[in-house]
Structure 1
Amino acid sequence: MLSRRMVLRTAAALPAAGVPMDTRVPHAVRELEDKIQAGMAAHRIPGVAYGLRHQGRDYVGGFGVTSADTPQAVGADTLFRIASTTKTFTGTAVMRLVENGHLDLDRTVRSYLPRFRTADETASRRVTLRQVLNHSAGWLGDVYTDTGSGDDTLARYVAELATVPQLTPPGEVFAYNNAAIGVAGRLIEVATGSGYESALRTLVLDPLRLRHTAFYLDELPEASVAVPHGFDRDGNPVAVPEALAIPRSLHAAGGLFSSARDQLAWARYHLGDGSPLLSRRSLRAMRWRPGPGGTLFVELDGAGVTWMLRPTADGPRVVQHGGDLPGQHSGFLIVPERDFALTVLTNAETGPLLTAELFADDWALSRLAGLHNLPATPRTLPDAELAGYEGRYVASQIGLDGEPAQIVLDLVAAGGRLSGRVDGSEQMVLPFYRKDYVLVWAPDGTDSHSRANFVRDPDGTIGWFRYGGRLFRRNPTPAGTPRTTGTTTALLPITLPHPA
């Protein structure tokens, strides 16, 4: 994995070459390509690929190189780890099994896994498949335990959840949950009698002819692969090919490789391109009945069946995901009411700075789909009002070795806003824009295009800070747990100043 010290280092941008699918490229698409290339230069990202559906036409492009060590041009078929966008494939496979009667979204997990449990017996008995898929299952979600590479890896991973703490009751609070999607992957295995990867290929990948999407590179031996990059102390790009590897236990939550062309095909399918894989009713059902709302860098109405459902000021809902692994960061969104889709794949630890501009900010939505974020005008508040939010906030995670760690964030009032500090060093500034909701700025006041919010306990006091979709508990004091100075993205941890 990339060194934590590498995360915010930068390097010179490398040459770019676009490859549009349609040669009659309108001005708005050229604007997007220019924006991507400007972001590569500003954030020093070696390689980027994109896919766009705009006004009934499809465009794909590649810029820069796959690796600083052995440079090859990035193209529409270059493979990237799509990380957590894999969850939407897992959700789609579940919906196929729902359609044929093998699974039911509103039955309990124990209906299919009688021995399933977390540390809370009541919650273990009550949690449903729908809650697993809409990130309201309530148990600790950042569980990265490596349970080996055998065919029993998911069964062993789910068994390891027996000691994982329950943070909130099922169905009540949105909190991004990688572990829950692992449970969904295990339910796919039980329902099909096949390993997760094989079942996903049979249920989803092969029927949709996604030829450049796979869990293992040896399935695509001729493919070009974008290598993850960190940066050395002098700001030079460092290729880290070993960062492509993740445990098999995490495949359901984030294990796929894919290309911009295949990701655009995936977007078209979920826009309703007429493929018979799922009924239109089931496709829509993946975006119905969102669970509890909150924030995951943007404001959310909630999550449907693995899709993040994002409101806009103009009415149409954005259906969104994205993925983050060390050196591989991507964004993905569709707007069914506008027949619009955008996916962007990057191969550097600074990739989130570009995807934040394109997916959390509304630059792309406003220019290409005529939509805008909910308004958020920062305010300064008196110290007396900020006092109700001050305190120490702690999140937990379980690492690849199964060992727990804590992420500690101190929030203190400063200049009418909250200052987020790790070990006394300011990492973020949090100006409020409405009750319990904040923008996330860098210490120098630069907008990170990110939002976060506080969650109240039943007595009305602040109980949690939700940042990056994770819950940080206010003032817990468990003894003897190792501390880290990081936070988490959609799959694996990176350092806290990197909010997107």
Structure 2
Amino acid sequence: MSSSIRKILCTKILLALLVATVGASLLGAQTSASAAPPTATLLSVKPEGPAADLNDPAQLSAFIDGIMEGHMDNFKIPGAVISIVKDGKILLSKGYGHSNVEEATLVDPETSLFRIASTTKLFTWTAVMQLVEQGRIDLDTDVNTYLETVIIPKTYPQPITMRHLMTHTAGFEEGGVGYQITTDPKKLPVSISETLAKHMPARVMPPGEMMSYSNYGASLAGLIVEEVSGIAYNDYIQKNIFDPLDMKYATVQEPVPASLEPYAVLGYARENGQFATRPPTFEGGFRPAGSGSVSADDMAHFMIAHLQDGRYGDQQILEPKTAQLMHSPAFVFNKHLPAMDLGFSDLNMNGLRVISHGGSDELFNTEVYLVPDKQIGIFVSYSGGDGGAAATGLARAFFDRYFPLQEVKLSPASAVLGNSLQKYAGSYQFTRRNHSDIDKFFNFLVKLNITVSDNRLSIGSGADQQVYAPIGPDLFQEVGGTHKMGFRTDASGKVTYLFLDELNPMPLEPTPLIDQPKFWLPLLGISAVLFITVLTGFAYRRREIKVMPKAQRWAVRVSVATAAWALMTSVATFVVVLNMGLIDRLSRITQSLNLYLFMPIILVGLTVVILALSVMAWKNKYWTVLKRVHYTLVSLSAVVMSLFFYHWNLLGWHFG
């Protein structure tokens, strides 16, 4: 994810948290599209000069040193490593900073093992293609044909195939709260099949319809490798990928084998201005999706093999036609936008087709960029700080220096296109999200809003704003930049999906009103205000309440209890639940979360009681009409909050 879009999303989350806490509403204004057609626009970055010589090792080393050292300082990164290959050789392999800050151990590109998280999927996908090549797996056969210990339910008429898993179009929802990772090595090893059977996400989309990045899907592919080959996943990857590629400092085993443990890079977080060691995270039964630890030199071997159609030295891990198939588009959102290959994601870097894969967790960030047409590969990994922003910046600097973009003048879009931009405006949410479990709530505030102004679409505002101009039907390009945005529409012209090339393979779809913060936050804010009036009224009218008839007195007391409990539950929701650290959230169900989940249930009970008392108040004419109206509004506010907890799967213990 680009740093600008990351900033936009983070800002929205912080703003929404603030708004929810004070009980106010968050409403955004949209400007209407102008009817005037846009003029021809130059939508590119001007090159600063001729391309530098990539074959000059001293120049390349000095350039990369400057970028890496600057990023490590700016993004507070303790250790990093990079390897660059070209034409079957390593052009550069260097380490920066420390693999162990406390012991002042320097990063060694030959031996230092960086956790590469989701980049591990490239090993899994390569293993799958080896079995495809052998005729033991067919890309378009129901995966249940190969599975022995896990059966995927037939939610839709269409079966899930290996092609769907490799293009992230299987249609699984996302999940992970309480089980995705562990920080306790004593819980390892964990069976892949048992994990996938126990934590199977729901199928929420017909296979092949749209991408939704899935760790579960990749893990399922790893299980198929294991069960089809008859070899444990870890052993298969070692025997069929690492050994033939002479990758001596690489493993998918967790924890890393004792022989490699001295070379494992420690992960760090910033604490009081210093780097503080954090325990490593383990994927356990999801290891085919993210358990790899690899050195830069060894990743260079892997990149060379893929760039040379499966060949490294005298070893051939894939036949040329198999490697070429793996690197070819397999799911196309729009022919003008980067595609999804069989495991790799396409990017457009200054006009070059780049196939890539990244990986990140709380402590490490990794990116792999391969340019098949230029026989160039880049591997970069960071052990802390904002490595994601650093990797994006490094890639951009590299391609701008060695493959500068030439100016391209784009044709003006038609007036008809300009007049119809309003249909693209609105809130969008990622297809990669949860629907069935408590995980759903963590998507509540993660939305992307698009506005329209002067025949342009905008994401964000101020310095972080990205503006896109139309260049064709359902297609837009960043003004002053190179990124593109595309939409899919149905037969009626209604937008169904949004795709940002820099977020491949994570498209978005329009957010229904009931899923939007702008729907819930005003209702919650009004409810909070009404609850506060109940508490303040009780404080000021205690003497008056004491002399009321018993039934009326109890009605007031129930309203006070409901108001106080609703406010406490709201605060706990946004402070306790959303404030959970990512590692805590994904590794275990905390006692505080279990205890918190009693609160919405108790609120529902109070809501039922206050609704009944509201009916009694009107029937028996308690108090004045105005006070009865107020009492009814308070009751409805309790209903609103109960519905909020129900809709976002906070009513009960919905764990995957």
- Is this a same-fold pair by TM over 0.5? yes
C-alpha displacement of 1:134: 1.8
Note closer, same or farther for the CA distance 1:391–1:37 as it changes in structure 2 (3 Å cut).
Answer: same
Note closer, same or farther for the CA distance 1:375–1:112 as it changes in structure 2 (3 Å cut).
Answer: farther
Q: Of Structure 1 and Structure 2, which has the larger fraction of its residues in strand? A: 1
Is residue 211 from structure 1 mapped to residue 248 from structure 2 by the alignment?
Answer: yes
Is residue 44 from structure 1 mapped to residue 81 from structure 2 by the alignment?
Answer: no
Distance (whole Å) between structure 2 residues aligned to residue 143 and residue 24 of structure 1: 46
Is residue 461 from structure 1 mapped to residue 494 from structure 2 by the alignment?
Answer: yes
Q: Specify the structure having the higher radius of gyration (Cα).
A: 2
C-alpha displacement of 1:374: 10
Write the deviation string for residues 279-323 of structure 1: whole angstroms up to 9, x where unpaired. Answer: 22222221124222469xxx9532222112334565x53221121
Residue equivalent to 1:13: none
Residue equivalent to 2:239: 202
Distance (whole Å) between structure 2 residues aligned to residue 277 and residue 56 of structure 1: 15
Distance (whole Å) between structure 2 residues aligned to residue 152 and residue 458 of structure 1: 47
Write the deviation string for residues 330-358 of structure 1: whole angstroms up to 9, x where unpaired. Answer: 11112222221111111123111111112
8 A Cα contact 2:172 2:201, kept in partner: no
Identify which of 244, 257, 269 aligns with 1:230: 269
Distance (whole Å) between structure 1 residues aligned to residue 341 and residue 162 of structure 2: 12
8 A Cα contact 1:454 1:465, kept in partner: yes
Residue equivalent to 2:355: 319
Residue equivalent to 1:334: 370
Distance (whole Å) between structure 1 residues aligned to residue 476 and residue 389 of structure 2: 19
Write the deviation string for residues 79-124 of structure 1: whole angstroms up to 9, x where unpaired. Answer: 111111111100111122122222122222122137632573324x
Is residue 343 from structure 1 mapped to residue 379 from structure 2 by the alignment?
Answer: yes
Residue equivalent to 2:96: 63
Write the deviation string for residues 367-403 of structure 1: whole angstroms up to 9, x where unpaired. Answer: 34x37599799x999997553233333346459x974
Residue equivalent to 2:17: none
Identify which of 129, 136, 150 aligns with 1:102: 136
Tell me, what secondary structure is at the counterpart of 1:282? helix
Is residue 122 from structure 1 mapped to residue 157 from structure 2 by the alignment?
Answer: yes
Deviates more, 1:203-212 or 1:25-34: 25-34
Distance (whole Å) between structure 2 residues aligned to residue 217 and residue 307 of structure 1: 26
C-alpha displacement of 1:214: 1.0
RMSD: 4.2
Residue equivalent to 1:246: 282
Tell me, what secondary structure is at the counterpart of 1:223? helix
Matches within 5 A, 1:53-202: 53-54=85-86, 57-58=89-90, 59-76=92-109, 77-113=111-147, 116-117=151-152, 120-123=155-158, 126-141=159-174, 143=176, 145-146=179-180, 153-160=191-198, 162-167=200-205, 169-202=206-239
Residue equivalent to 1:474: 510
C-alpha displacement of 1:419: 6.0
Write the deviation string for residues 393-427 of structure 1: whole angstroms up to 9, x where unpaired. Answer: 3346459x974434231515276566657xxx999
8 A Cα contact 2:497 2:508, kept in partner: yes
Residue equivalent to 1:17: none
Note closer, same or farther for the CA distance 1:213–1:30 as it changes in structure 2 (3 Å cut).
Answer: same
8 A Cα contact 1:294 1:453, kept in partner: yes
Note closer, same or farther for the CA distance 1:42–1:218 as it changes in structure 2 (3 Å cut).
Answer: same
Tell me, what secondary structure is at the counterpart of 2:323? helix
Tell me the number of residue pairs that the alignment of Structure 1 and Structure 2 aligns.
449
Note closer, same or farther for the CA distance 1:398–1:191 as it changes in structure 2 (3 Å cut).
Answer: same
Distance (whole Å) between structure 2 residues aligned to residue 374 and residue 161 of structure 1: 50
Distance (whole Å) between structure 2 residues aligned to residue 465 and residue 112 of structure 1: 34
Tell me, what secondary structure is at the counterpart of 2:359? strand
Q: Which amino acid is 1:186 matched to?
A: L
8 A Cα contact 2:75 2:385, kept in partner: no
8 A Cα contact 1:82 1:255, kept in partner: yes
Note closer, same or farther for the CA distance 1:335–1:163 as it changes in structure 2 (3 Å cut).
Answer: closer
8 A Cα contact 1:90 1:185, kept in partner: yes
Residue equivalent to 2:298: 262
Write the deviation string for residues 446-472 of structure 1: whole angstroms up to 9, x where unpaired. Answer: x8x876554434543222344633344
8 A Cα contact 1:136 1:171, kept in partner: yes
Tell me, what secondary structure is at the counterpart of 1:33? helix
Distance (whole Å) between structure 2 residues aligned to residue 164 and residue 427 of structure 1: 39
Note closer, same or farther for the CA distance 1:341–1:456 as it changes in structure 2 (3 Å cut).
Answer: same
Task: State, as a whole percentage, how many aligned pairs show the same letter.
Answer: 21
Write the deviation string for residues 221-271 of structure 1: whole angstroms up to 9, x where unpaired. Answer: 453333223334x6x2433422x2123122111110011111111111112
Matches within 5 A, 1:419-498: 429-434=465-470, 436=474, 453-466=486-499, 468=503, 469-476=505-512, 477=514
8 A Cα contact 2:189 2:284, kept in partner: no
Note closer, same or farther for the CA distance 1:195–1:303 as it changes in structure 2 (3 Å cut).
Answer: same
Tell me, what secondary structure is at the counterpart of 1:281? helix
Q: Which amino acid is 1:251 matched to?
A: R
Residue equivalent to 2:391: 355
Tell me, what secondary structure is at the counterpart of 2:360? strand
Q: Of Structure 1 and Structure 2, which has the larger fraction of its residues in helix? A: 2
C-alpha displacement of 1:57: 4.2
Residue equivalent to 2:66: 34
Note closer, same or farther for the CA distance 1:261–1:49 as it changes in structure 2 (3 Å cut).
Answer: same
Tell me, what secondary structure is at the counterpart of 1:102? coil
Tell me, what secondary structure is at the counterpart of 1:140? coil
Distance (whole Å) between structure 2 residues aligned to residue 181 and residue 150 of structure 1: 20
Distance (whole Å) between structure 2 residues aligned to residue 79 and residue 194 of structure 1: 24
Q: Which amino acid is 1:224 matched to?
A: Y
Q: Which amino acid is 1:343 matched to?
A: F
8 A Cα contact 1:196 1:252, kept in partner: yes
Note closer, same or farther for the CA distance 1:311–1:117 as it changes in structure 2 (3 Å cut).
Answer: same
Is residue 25 from structure 1 mapped to residue 57 from structure 2 by the alignment?
Answer: yes
Distance (whole Å) between structure 1 residues aligned to residue 334 and residue 452 of structure 2: 25
Q: Which amino acid is 1:159 matched to?
A: A
Normalized against structure 1, the TM-score is what?
Answer: 0.76
Please, which runs of 5 or more residues in structure 2 have no aligned partner?
Answer: 1-5, 11-54, 521-572, 587-656
8 A Cα contact 2:119 2:358, kept in partner: yes
Deviates more, 1:299-308 or 1:261-270: 299-308
Please, which runs of 5 or more residues in structure 1 have no aligned partner?
Answer: 9-22, 494-500
Q: Which amino acid is 2:353 matched to?
A: R
8 A Cα contact 2:458 2:468, kept in partner: no
Write the deviation string for residues 151-201 of structure 1: whole angstroms up to 9, x where unpaired. Answer: 76322343356551423x322323322221111011112102233222222
Note closer, same or farther for the CA distance 1:74–1:262 as it changes in structure 2 (3 Å cut).
Answer: same
Distance (whole Å) between structure 2 residues aligned to residue 437 and residue 229 of structure 1: 41
8 A Cα contact 2:469 2:478, kept in partner: no
